[in-house]
Structure 1
Amino acid sequence: MEKRRIRKKSSKKKWWVLTPIIILAVILLSIIGYGFHLYNEVKNNVNDKMHEQVSGDVIDVERTKERIGNQENINVLLLGIDSETSITGRSDALIVMTLKPDEETIQLVSIPRDTRTTIVGRGTEDKINHAHAFGGPEMAIATVENFLDIDIDYFARVNMDGMAELVDLVGPITVNNHLEFSQGGNSFPTGNITLTGDETMNYVRMRKEDPRGDFGRTDRQRKVIEGIVREGAKISNVTRITAMLDVLGNNVSTNMTFSDMTSLFSDYRQTAKNFENYQMEGSGTMINSIYYYIVPEEEVVKVRDMIES
């Protein structure tokens, strides 16, 4: 689930997902109640700039509404795109984020990008991160649902542009670093460290020096997500919230409407109290001279049970 290195300014920008920040921005506004003007500004930003509708054949809206009404687990597919526009490109990061109200927990399950599986809509075996490049979020959602045999309720897609700016808006963030290394002119000692936007980019980009390769990098990505969520929850300045939403509007798309967000997270906001992280496990192999990551069926069953429990 983690692999190699990234150059400083590559057109293939490998990164992670920021949906929890959208969620927190909406929660903050509903809690703090900043007034009609800001409310409408946020609403228009989400509905006009971030919202991307998907087919009802892929996501059953009525089923999701029923789950929310019953306070059941909700699954959000987070897609990090290695493209500057986030409209095309492979999903270099795939994370199923499950909101578990009974446990007051957000569970993040990372799927290795090279996982070999059936690409729904094409009927071929390929790397799971190619699904988005072939058919956008709808094909990515359908492929992940088929792979894990779960239902996805929402998706959020993010590209790397603007993420350093976002970290600077909510941060600096703090992460607990387990590997001492240097990248891009920054040194990262072990223990709790604080990161600016530029430092965060170097922190998550490093793969070559990590003995766990992509798996170590994905672990750092998840730590950054948690750090951003925690710092974002502290924001109480109207200007900073507005600026944060502008950055998100330019870099994030989701099938959630503003109404979806407010109704969902008025009931699910307590899930941000705790985080559980898991990385799907398997083994690498070469098939027709192409590297794939093979996840055994027992691992798939284990993850499905984790998500649905």
Structure 2
Amino acid sequence: VGMIRSEDDIAGNQLAKELIKKEKLNKLEIIYYDDYYELLNDLNSKTLTGIFIPGNYESLFIEDDLYSSISNNTVVYKSITKTIKKTSESGNKSTSEPFTILLLGIDSTVGDLRKNDAFRGDSIMLITFNPKTLSSTFLSIPRDTYVPITCRKNREMKINASAVSGTKCMIDTITNFTGIEIDYFVKLNFTGLVDLVNAVGGVDIDVPYSFCEQNSKRKWGKDTVFVKEGLQRLDGEQALALSRNRHFPNDPGAGEMRLQCPTYNKGPRNDFIRGQNQQLVVQGIIDKAKNIRSVDAFYKLLNTISDNMDTNMETEQILSFYEVGRNLLFNSKQGVKDSITMERLYLQTSNLMIHNVGSAEIYQKRSLEAIVKEMKINLGLIKADPVKTFSYDANVEVELVVIGKGLFDSTKRSTVPKFINQAKSVALNWATSNGKTIKVTEVGSDHPLYNEELDNNVVVGQSVPAGTVTDQMSSIEITVQIKK
């Protein structure tokens, strides 16, 4: 049976040991792992009979292509529940100081987020705000971004993997990845977003394209949410649908969407566009917040979403930020988009298929550097570069520059190719070009990997799986068949 090695992991280690003691499972042979994805891989391959995993494991992994059938292929053998005091410290920034806040949209419809620290992040948004300059920056981090996970000994995985180990791991991973300290976090699930948008009377958004999506309960059919392109007021279900949509009706695996809105196929759609749509929803909510005129109304709003929200802000801190924000917005006769500068940042990535990970986004260091610089300027940590003079021609169209977008690194990360069934020379040439040590083992017809249908000097085995990131390995052994 597999168990998480880290003793800091509450569900995968601490509660697992308590369950063993409670149910007298001392005869189990325990094999330790550094992350849940390794656990699941070995469970799927039947290397393991069982694993210790958080109780909300279905919602944590069901959206991963590799584990989409997890609810059908597993059963709960034993379980344990325990109330544990939260260890996250409240932020202590003054309302007059620049601060950062991490907004986490949780892929869950289950109430009371505080019952499980492990979660699946559907959206990850890092915001900076400077109350002195009334400027803010918004960065949506794609959930497939490939980064070192701090609570997994900095092993590189999709950033969403950090959420499985809880909020602290996610925060530490983002801080390590960006160099930006996070003062506050807010986690909000599907139901919480729907209730929040409805509580402020809907949000006014210029929807970039027509689409349809499942509702907050993940239901289609009569519950399908349809939204058409154009400026309009969205209710909670529509705002959630816009925040989640990333597929065309004709995409592989689109399933029910193809049946419900087959003609809604215009406009770019992917994780990056979804991140931009999520920013539109957040901006819309902030804009409507100026209509909350009393403290009582604000408390009522908090009560509406309390079971579907988790945060390290104390109620007094939230109220203090509300008072400051209300004064700023109320003094403006225009919307928040005109009274507060909102800079939308863009993390440029390139896609890479990785062994035991699937489709991952490799962030571009040049893009991240530009983004971090802009955040630090807004936080008052560094000074902005002097503005250069330029000439203006009214007849020339000016393109809006999005910080971080289009900045690619000069070198790309790559993965180990599949050498099996290829000539030995292919593997040797690759190893030479990439500075890797290669060991060749020659086998004859008595070897189990020998294939009579293949030619002489053909690779029939490799020690490093195809799809392994090249800079994560230094040597490889290949098995080559020799015909006599």
Say whether the fold is shared (TM-score over 0.5): yes
Does residue 190 of the first structure (1) align with residue 229 of the second (2)?
yes
Match of 1:215 among 272, 275, 288: 272
Query: How far did residue 282 of structure 1 move?
Result: 0.9
**Aligned counterpart, 2:287:** 230
- For residue 285 of structure 1, the aligned residue among 352, 363, 367 is 352
In the alignment, is residue 276 of structure 1 matched against residue 346 of structure 2? no
Aligned identity (percent) is: 28
Q: Is the Cα–Cα contact under 8 Å of residues 162 and 251 in structure 1 kept in the other structure?
A: yes
1:115–1:292 contact (8 Å) kept in structure 2 = yes
Is 2:140 the counterpart of 1:103?
A: no
In structure 1, C-alpha distance between the alignment counterparts of 2:107 and 2:360, rounded to whole Å: 18
Residue 152 of structure 2 is aligned to residue 122 of structure 1: yes
- Say whether the 8 Å CA contact 2:105–2:121 is kept in structure 1: yes
Q: Tell me the equivalent position of 1:257.
A: 314
Which residue of 79, 82, 88 maps to 2:107?
82
Give the unaligned 5+ runs of structure 1.
1-9, 15-50
**Do residues 93 (structure 1) and 123 (structure 2) align?**
yes
Bigger mean CA offset, 198-207 vs 250-259: 198-207
- Aligned to 2:129, what secondary structure does the other structure show? strand
Distance in 2, matches of 1:237 and 1:72, equals 24
SS at match of 2:240: helix
Say if 1:182 and 1:155 are closer, same or farther in 2 by CA, change over 3 A: closer
- The structure with more helix, counted as a fraction of residues: 1
Cα gap change, 1:202 to 1:81, in 2 (>3 Å): closer
Is 1:149 aligned with 2:217?
no
* Closer/same/farther in 2, CA of residues 256 and 218 from structure 1, 3 Å limit: same
1:194, distance to aligned residue in structure 2 (A): 1.1
Q: 1:52 to 1:159 in 2, by over 3 A?
A: farther
State the distance in 1 between where 2:294 and 2:198 align.
Answer: 14
Structure scoring higher RCO (CA < 8 A, sep ≥ 6) equals 1
8 A Cα contact 1:73 1:308, kept in partner = no
TM-score by length of 2: 0.48
Distance 2:316 2:299 in 1: 18
- Which piece of structure 1 moves more, 140-149 or 281-290? 281-290
What are the ranges of 5 or more consecutive residues in structure 2 without an aligned counterpart?
A: 1-57, 64-84, 215-223, 249-266, 330-335, 378-484
**What is the alpha-carbon distance in structure 1 between the residues aligned to residue 361 and residue 163 of structure 2?**
18
RMSD: 2.9
**What CA distance in whole angstroms lies between the structure 2 residues aligned with 1:240 and 1:268?**
15
Structure 1 residue 152, shift from structure 2 partner: 1.0
- Secondary structure, aligned partner of 1:307: helix
Partner SS state of residue 108, structure 1: strand
Q: Quick check: which has more Rg, 1 or 2?
A: 2
